């Protein structure tokens, strides 16, 4: 009898824990969404891209460059391969100087 009551109680506790975890996960998602936006509601730069600075310039990772240029990762790769957009490899990752991305935008995005 004790064993059945204990199992029943454990199942109830497990169910409550699952509900709590779902609530916590939902709150984390909300917090993450809010923290990734500044006061204007625009997404902030990712923390990873703020780590590296070359010649007093911020380096952007692929995701940031895609977002700024409003292109796909594949298009970004084409621009790199064709030499239209200068890039830097650091720790096996690709980065772009903010000024290079801005200059590329000024020159206009033309199809590869």
pLDDT in tens, 47-95: 444 467 777 888 999 999 999 999 999 999 999 999 999 999 888 899 9
Distance between CA atoms of residues 98 and 101, nearest Å: 5
19 or 101, higher pLDDT: 101
Distance between CA atoms of residues 60 and 91, nearest Å: 14
Look at residue 33 in the predicted model and tell me its pLDDT: 47
Torsion, Cα 88 89 94 97, to 10 degrees, reads -20
């Amino acid at each position: 009898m004790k064993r059945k009551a204990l199992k029943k109680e454990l199942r109830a506790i497990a169910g409550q824990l699952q509900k709590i975890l779902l609530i916590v996960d939902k709150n984390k998602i909300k917090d993450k969404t809010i923290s990734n936006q500044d006061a204007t509601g625009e997404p902030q730069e990712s923390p990873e891209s703020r780590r590296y600075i070359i010649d007093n310039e911020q380096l952007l990772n692929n995701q940031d460059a895609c977002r700024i240029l409003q292109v796909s990762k594949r298009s970004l790769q084409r621009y790199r391969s064709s030499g239209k957009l200068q890039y830097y490899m650091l720790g096996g990752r690709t980065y772009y100087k903010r000024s290079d991305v801005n200059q590329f935008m000024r020159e206009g995005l033309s199809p590869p």
